[in-house]
Amino acid sequence: MNHEGRIERARAALNGSKIDALLVTNLTNVRYLTGFSGSNGQVLITKSGATFFSDGRYAARAADLVHGAEVAIYDARLTDLLPDSLARASIARLGVESTTVTLDEKDQLAKKISAELVPVKGVVEELRRVKEPEEITAMREAVRLADQAFDEVLSILKVGATEREVALELEIIVRRAGAEDVSFEPIVGSGPLSAHIHHSPSDRAIEAGDLVLMDFGALHEGYHSDLTRTVVMGSATDHQKEHYDLVLRSQSAGTEAVAAGATGVAVDAAARAVIESAGKGSEFGHGLGHGVGLDIHEAPRLHKISEDTLQAGEIVTVEPGVYVVGTGGIRIEDCVLVTQDGAEVLSKAPKHELIEIPI
Ligand code: ZN
Ligand code: ZN
């Protein structure tokens, strides 16, 4: 991955702002800017330089991984070195990431440094929205690994298997396929539990006639994928087919609305209108989708309350669902690349009809 230019772009955000420097403490942002992955690292970006800080455990790793910033290793804590760095660069107002720094950390910083702390948010997250070609390549592989895992998991779906067993198999399949990890703990919901939007797999054994909703992803080079498919154990009822078709049509409408310049509100509305016109609007109780990349959920959002406008090169999920309490839920989710004039659906796992698992 080529990290060159990223710190430069973050620095551009300092120009015209009220801060002289930015302290990046969100580890995903640190990884994006420098290439460093680990449990402790911070980046100070001033108008003329950049310093990566960590502790001794990461000295060798930082020397290997960090690009575009000087590496400084402290004994115990960031404030061992930060005051000097700030003084050398004459920093009077330091931007700190308000979504990461805790109140306690803020107090500690305020005690040790003389610069004024200015809460800022979203600076690096904004840069992360549009993916570079190499990032898109990594995402395509993360998506491909999830597609492959879906294909393989179908053969282990059996009446009597518990949701937890299927979730464990999914993790094994994803990792065996070559992923670094799963993107998140897989969601496997069966029968009435498939109506729980963010269900934790339980000991419920899958029964004939159940809808089985599986939401999972693969991690590749730090990039996440996110895929949901819903299948049925045995022959689908007309009712299940009808619901599936409704969600599929909603998903197509949402995907067709994706393009550079479309707002997150408009894309959400395009998919939601299909479900609302069938009188099921109240059974689609979440946003249509989210950006995905180094985090499983990142900007932009496709949601009623989104403030985002899509840009070419962003990767978002499109994931409408209809959840009927007591009966079951259906969700279909793909990762989609925003292009200048539309969208490229990256996920290739089959979805065009409700898959019936032989029982
Ligand atoms: Zn998902
Ligand atoms: Zn998702």
The tens digit of pLDDT for each residue in 237-258 reads 999 999 999 999 999 999 999 9
Residue 199 pLDDT grade (very low, low, confident, very high; cuts 50, 70, 90)? confident
Residues whose CB is less than 8 angstroms from the CB of residue 186 and which lie 6 or more positions away in sequence, other chains included: 167, 170, 171, 201, 214, 215, 216
**For ion ligand 1, residues whose CB falls within 5 Å:** 215, 226, 228, 333
**Does 197 have pLDDT greater than 90?**
no
Q: What is the reported pLDDT for 195?
A: 92
The tens digit of pLDDT for each residue in 21-53 reads 999 999 999 999 999 999 999 999 999 999 999
Distance 262 CA to ligand 1 centre (A): 22
Residue 17 pLDDT grade (very low, low, confident, very high; cuts 50, 70, 90)? confident
Q: Which listed ligand is nearest to 318 at the C-alpha?
A: 2
The tens digit of pLDDT for each residue in 291-332 reads 999 999 999 999 999 999 999 999 999 999 999 888 899 999
pTM of the model: 0.94
CB 85 within 8 A of CB 44: yes
Q: Which listed ligand is nearest to 186 at the C-alpha?
A: 1
> Hey, is 290 helix, strand or coil?
strand
* Structure tokens, 126: 């904004």
The Cβ-side half-sphere exposure at 77, using a 13 Å CA radius, reads 6
**For ion ligand 2, residues whose CB falls within 5 Å:** 226, 317
Residues whose CB is less than 8 angstroms from the CB of residue 282 and which lie 6 or more positions away in sequence, other chains included: none
φ, ψ (nearest 5 deg) of residue 281:
-55, -35
Q: What is the DSSP string of 35-75?
A: ---SS--EEEEESS-EEEEEEGGGHHHHHHH--SSEEEEES
CB 228 within 8 A of CB 247: no
What is d(CA 341, CA 82) in angstroms, rounded to the nearest whole number?
Answer: 46
Distance 223 CA to ligand 2 centre (A): 14
Q: What is the reported pLDDT for 16?
A: 80
Distance 139 CA to ligand 1 centre (A): 15
Q: ∠ CA(275), CA(298), CA(323), 5° rounding?
A: 25
Contacts 24+ apart (CB under 8 A), 301-308: 301/264, 302/254, 302/264, 302/267, 302/268, 303/264, 303/265, 303/268, 304/265, 304/268, 304/269, 304/272, 305/265, 306/263, 306/264, 306/265, 306/268, 307/264, 308/263, 308/264
Residues whose CB is less than 8 angstroms from the CB of residue 67 and which lie 6 or more positions away in sequence, other chains included: 3, 4, 34, 35
What is d(CA 166, CA 169) in angstroms, rounded to the nearest whole number?
Answer: 5
Percent of the chain with pLDDT strictly greater than 90: 94
Q: In terms of C-beta density within 10 A (0-12 exposed, 13-18 middle, 19 or more buried), how is residue 250 classed? A: buried
CA nearest neighbour of 268 among 224, 227, 313, 316: 316
* Structure tokens, 130: 């549009």
Q: What is the reported pLDDT for 155?
A: 94
